[in-house]
Structure 1
Amino acid sequence: MSTKEKDLTLNFEAVCRAAQKGNVDYFRGISQHFREEWLVRKCNQRSGDNILHIAARFGRLSILEFIAKELFASHGMKWSVKKLEIFDSINADRKTPLHEAAQSDHLDCVQFLLQQKVNVDSMKRADWTPLMLAIAKGNKEVVLQLLNASANPALVNKDGWNSFHLACREGNLEIVKLLSDTKADLWKVASKNGRTPLHTAALHGCKDVVHWLLESCQHPVDAEDSCGNTPLMDAIRMGHTEVAAMMIEDFKANIMKTDRLGYQLLHVAAQSGHLASVTYILINFAVDINAVSFKNITPLHLAAKEGHKEIISCLLSHGANIYLQDEMGRTALNIVENNNHSDCVQILKQQYS
């Protein structure tokens, strides 16, 4: 590396620090040649960030304004032509400065970048837009700015999730309603594995969003994903018994549904390890505690495989049959022994004495 290149690298590190701290005076002291050189230069090969990415991530509006108003405006057509290209530049994750500002909740930087006519729907790696990142952070004002700039909430990422899915996952009902106002049927979407916004909200225990989807959107309460899971199963799987109770009592969710493996609600609860879910089902519903799946697997078998000691004890106290065998001829005791769940072995052995 030549002396000039070493000096350029060293000084560029100082430029990056200045961008991070919002030190505009430092930029004003840089010669015209170096300004142009550093504007397109990456901070490092791993991140691929340039000065704009850094300024947007740290909310340094003054740096973005300097680059747009003083640097580009004063250096002729050459840089005017490149302005939009540089403001839409991508790093190693294919994130633009707008992605960085939206993800970091810097409303003023988001507004300024949108004024520069950047691509509001640019997609980073995994096909996430700035709107998706803003929704994941839960910043309503940033979301509103992006929507006002015609961000498309119906775009999907690599998993088939759109912005509405993400809003339902985060449980921010204000943002959910805001997105719905832009496109009334936005909720009518399923991911690549068939999961709906209701699945997502139920899985994450977002009770208000679940209620709104069922009441205001008339979302099918027993919608199935590609594995046959219903939103009720997802709520039970994660121990969200209040959400499950609401879905059953107020919206008549079907507690007898089975998934593609033939698992019923109690199977799902036993496998998940949430004692609250198992207890809720056993106390409130007349379910078959020894119900078998397509492979003769009972809830006790699933709890045994996962080593859920409390679940095993609960099922046994409610009459689970320890002698039932799965299609491979294994009892729950065989399963815990095979999986080295020694504490569970003792619980089951006591039932044989």
Structure 2
Amino acid sequence: MSEHTIDVNTRGLYRLTPLMLAAVRGQNDVFEHLHKEEADMTLTDGDGDHILSTACIGGNIDIVKYVVSKQPELINRNRNDGRTSLMWAAWHGRENIFGYLLRNGADHISMDNYGDNILHYASHGGHTGIVEKILAEAEIDIHSIDRWGRTALMEAADQGHKQVFDILVRKGSSISHEDKDGNNVLHVACGGGHVEMVEHILSRVKFDINCRGKDGATPLMIAARCGHRGVFDLLVGKGADTSLLDNMENNILHLASMEGHESM
């Protein structure tokens, strides 16, 4: 910087500026120095992320507070896919930042371009504290669905987050809900490949282990197609029918073969 040979707002990977990189890494001293050197706080990267959304990823509350004090209009500014800073904080488990943004006017009921809200994001990330805070303080319907008809409970099942799953069930989220493809939480969990999550669901709920989802696929077919051997073995051990066909007359061998899972 002292040589003045490089533009302080030079672009790098994903069109990130040095200031954005300092924010996303939570480097407060570097951030302050760059800003004193007139780094531009109004720029966005290739995805439309601005300095506040990158700071929420980094998790440094001091940077977040400074940005909000200088650019308060960024609190509810969306990036290209509709994601807000509050959603980033929920996904990354930045509980102190999440609470700070809520107290300072962050829109907590908005959705991104795919219909996901902050509860979907927090459940996807597996952050119990934020999930409980949302359910207690935000006006979010626990049964709200995204573009594909998925609930927050399905996000937790897909990612294998048992604690979040249990919180949502305890608060009344429907285990029997099906998305727009006809998949339920068992199908989703098998697609995610988390053995403990699948076992947890089967222990809690009386599911038909051969229930049909998208294209008539059973949970076992989904495990075969995705190459999740642990889930496959668990389902077989629980009595899943290995001889069934989907709506296109594919069996489990067809499905494993078409996706190239050699060991499966």
Normalising by structure 1, what TM-score? 0.68
CA shift, 1:333, in A, is: 3.5
How many angstroms apart in 1 are the aligned matches of 2:240 and 2:81? Answer: 39
How many angstroms apart in 2 are the aligned matches of 1:336 and 1:117? Answer: 56
1:1-353 to 2 correspondence within 5 Å?
A: 19=1, 39=4, 43=6, 50=7, 53=8, 89-91=9-11, 94-96=15-17, 98-108=19-29, 110-111=31-32, 120-151=41-72, 152-183=74-105, 186-249=107-170, 251-339=171-259, 341=261, 343-344=263-264
CA shift, 1:339, in A, is: 4.6
Q: Deviations over 1:49-99 (max 9, x none)?
A: x2xx3xxxxxxxxxxxxxxxxxxxxxxxxxxxxxxxxxxx45366555543
CA shift, 1:317, in A, is: 1.9
Q: Deviations over 1:251-308 (max 9, x none)?
A: 1111011112111111111111110111011111011111112421111111111122
Name the structure, 1 or 2, with higher relative contact order (CA <8 Å, separation 6+): 2
Contact 1:322 1:333 in 2 (8 A): no
Unaligned runs of 5+ in 1: 1-18, 28-38, 44-49, 54-88, 345-353
CA shift, 1:144, in A, is: 0.7
Q: Deviations over 1:181-228 (max 9, x none)?
A: 1115x1111111111111111111111111111111142112111111
Contact 2:109 2:139 in 1 (8 A): no
CA shift, 1:121, in A, is: 3.3
Q: Which runs of 4+ in 1 moved over 2 A?
A: 89-122, 333-344
**SS of residue paired to 2:216:** coil
Contact 1:122 1:129 in 2 (8 A): yes
Contact 1:111 1:145 in 2 (8 A): no
Q: Deviations over 1:313-349 (max 9, x none)?
A: 21122221222210111222343355554554xxxxx
Aligned length: 262
How many angstroms apart in 2 are the aligned matches of 1:116 and 1:306? Answer: 50
Tell me which amino acid in the other structure corresponds to 1:210.
Answer: V
Q: What is the alpha-carbon root mean square deviation over aligned residues? A: 2.4
Give the number of the structure whose alpha-carbon radius of gyration is greater: 1
How many angstroms apart in 2 are the aligned matches of 1:339 and 1:103? Answer: 36
Contact 1:295 1:326 in 2 (8 A): yes
Contact 1:261 1:294 in 2 (8 A): yes
How many angstroms apart in 2 are the aligned matches of 1:343 and 1:116? Answer: 56
Unaligned runs of 5+ in 2: none
How many angstroms apart in 1 are the aligned matches of 2:49 and 2:111? Answer: 17
Structure 1 pair 307/294, CA: closer, same or farther in 2 (3 Å)? closer
Structure 1 pair 182/116, CA: closer, same or farther in 2 (3 Å)? farther
Q: Percent identity?
A: 26
Structure 1 pair 154/339, CA: closer, same or farther in 2 (3 Å)? closer
